[in-house]
Each structure stands twice: as C-alpha cells, then as structure tokens.
Amino acid sequence: MPRFPTMLACLLLFATGAHAATLDVVRSRGQLVCGVNTGVAGFSAPDPQGVYRGLDVDYCRAVAAAVLGDPAKVKYVPTTYQTRFVALQSGELDVLARNVTLTLTRETALGLLGVGVDFYDGQGFMVPKATKLTSAKQLDGATVCVLPGSTTELNLGDFARRSNIKIQPVVLNSMDTMVDTYQSGRCDAMTTDASQLAALRVSAMRDPSAHVILPERISKEPLGPFVRRGDEQWAAIAKYVLMGLIAAEELGVTQANVDAMRTSTDPDIRRLLGVEAGLGKALGIEEGWGYRMIKAVGNYGEAFDRNLGRGSPIGLDRGLNDLWTRGGLMYALPLR
C-alpha cells in the first residue's frame, strides 16, 4: 500500500471536512508535526548532533511554544519536492515549513493555504568561477541542473524564452543528486532559489570559493509556511505566530529583553506579550502565546541573523527581508 493517499483522495478528504480540527489533534498528541526540507542550511537541516536548525525550524519551534508551551515539542518530518504537498494534504503534517513559494495554484488546486511570507527570494544561477560568466544571459547553449515539480523548472523555461537563448535543462530528482551532478561537471550551471544556492555554496561545494552566484533573479519567490484549507482557526494561529515574530522586531522586543518588556506601557507590546488578555482567546490558545514564542526563539530579525545573516555561515544581507521601516518588505499585520 502506498505511504500517502492519492492526491485526489486527499482533496476529497479535505473537501468533505474529514480532517479533525488541527489544534485539537496537536493538543491531544502533545506534539507539533512540522514538514521541513531534507536539508537546506539556514532554513532546515540537522546539525552534527542531529538537531534541526534554521529559519523554518525556528518558526516551527515558535508555533509549538505558542500552542503547547514548549518549543521542543516538535517532530520534524523531512519532505521532498514530490512528497511535501501530499504529506500536508493527507494530514501527516500539521504545518509545512520548507521554504515553499506561495503561488495561486498551490492555494487553489491543491487545497492549501500560505499563511504569510517569511523570506522574499528569487531564483538564481550558480556557476563555476572558472567560466568567468557575469550574467545569466551568457548561458546560451548551457546545460542547467534543475529539480522537477517545482517553480524553478517552469521559471527556467520562461527565462530562456524571454532572453531568446537556448538552455538544456538537466532534471534531477533530489537536491543531493543535483549538487553531485553539478560538481561532476555534467551541468554548466545549477538553478534554484538564490538563498538555497548561497546555502549550498558554503555547505555542499567542495571548494566554495570556486563557485559564484550570478546577479540576476529571474523570478519572485515569496517563501512561507503552508497549512490545509478548511481549518480557519489553525490557519489563523499559523499566520499570527509569523506576524507576532515580525511585530516583535518592529517593537524592539527580543529574546533577551522579553521579560523586562512585560512591564512596558506600550499597548501593542502588552497585547503581544499577553499582559493585556484577548489575543489568546481570539486564537483559541492560552494567553501569553507571544511571550512564550519570543522567549523561545527571539523575534524575526534574531532568527534571520542567527540562521542566514552576516553572522551565520550563509552570510546573507537582510535586503527585502528587512523591516519595512528600513527599506525591506517585512510588515506585521496589526495584532489587535
């Protein structure tokens, strides 16, 4: 018997409301089941001790802290491009947090719901430095490693047509295979989200200095967590955990000062931290959920810096992922 139901069966289950309320299931189980990547440094990957780390992992920890009171009560389920959506549709996962692009068809035909953007990205290309290429438009006639079943494969074809160049895709079934194929020289370039290329360059290349990421971004890739449609309460919890992490940075609430901030007179801070009750009741979870998650993982900026920023091995600038007050796109919906 196959591990997952067919997509049609999953959608029928979804449409008929066969899934129990997710919050009740999570509480009864005493654990959040979070679908993550099989391994992308900075987003979700096990460290040498087998402990998952990354921006998406911190989001899962924040949900667990908000709902269950303990950021450690998470089971991480590695998912591939082929299994990620079916695993969520079937109910195997409570939330999918594996740097997935929010798109129209994923929120309609697949019966899923993106709860917000936690990383603004774009598709790029990595090439050996020895090629001396400076632009993706110089890839005319090149072979390019790409993964199937993702937006990257479609974007690659669109880019070639728009640029009036010919690109030969080499479609591979996993990130590990793509990396190995690229490093063996069978592909002239490798394409995926630029953030993943940056992570792979430092974590998977035998000599990171021998590879460069070309400057073009050929798509918009707003990445974020997904839940199943049809469970509005759980979707609201998943959304406002993310909004709470961003709001905490906007308000200057950090993992280090969150206890002191509970004495603040600022009404937005008092509501976020549960000093003034109401937001927990609105979501159907215990008051103080914002305090618990910030105490566990810090605010959005802290999670970004720890996992992806200049102080991490990945070394990314905040760019579009900075707060709107500093020229970025990160903007929390009002928590009131």
Q: Is residue 90 part of a domain?
A: no
Mean pLDDT for 111-125 is 96
Cα(315)–Cα(237) distance, integer angstroms: 31
Q: Is residue 186 part of a domain?
A: yes
pTM of the model: 0.87
> Radius of gyration of the chain from Cα atoms?
20
Residues 6+ apart with CB under 8 A from 95: 32, 33, 34, 35, 60, 63, 88, 225, 226, 227, 238
Cα(152)–Cα(277) distance, integer angstroms: 44
Q: Decide: 139 and 114 in contact? Cβ < 8 Å.
A: no
Residue 192, pLDDT > 50, answer yes
Q: Is residue 199 part of a domain?
A: yes
Q: Decide: 66 and 240 in contact? Cβ < 8 Å.
A: no
Residues 6+ apart with CB under 8 A from 243: 116, 332, 333, 335
Q: Which residues pair with 35 in a beta bridge?
A: 77, 96
Q: What is the CATH number of the domain that holds 180?
A: 3.40.190.10
Kindly report, residue by residue over 62-112, the tens digit of the pLDDT.
Answer: 999 999 999 999 999 999 878 999 999 999 999 999 989 999 999 999 999
**Per-residue tokens: 271:** 């509501």
Closest CA to 290 of 67, 53, 14, 25: 67
Q: Is residue 130 part of a domain?
A: yes
Q: Is residue 2 classed as helix, strand or coil in its secondary structure?
A: coil
pLDDT at 15: 40
* Element (DSSP H or E) covering residue 246: helix 232-251
Cα(239)–Cα(226) distance, integer angstroms: 9
Kindly report, residue by residue over 197-217, the tens digit of the pLDDT.
Answer: 999 999 899 999 999 999 999
Kindly report, residue by residue over 25-69, the tens digit of the pLDDT.
Answer: 999 999 999 999 988 899 999 999 999 999 999 999 999 999 999
Q: Is residue 198 part of a domain?
A: yes
Q: Is residue 336 part of a domain?
A: no
Token pair 């070639």: residue = 160
The parent domain of residue 160 ranges over 121-221
Q: Decide: 74 and 58 in contact? Cβ < 8 Å.
A: no
Q: Is residue 306 part of a domain?
A: no
Domain count across the chain: 1
Determine what percent of the chain is predicted with pLDDT higher than 70: 94
**Which residue type sits at 97?**
A
Q: Is residue 170 part of a domain?
A: yes
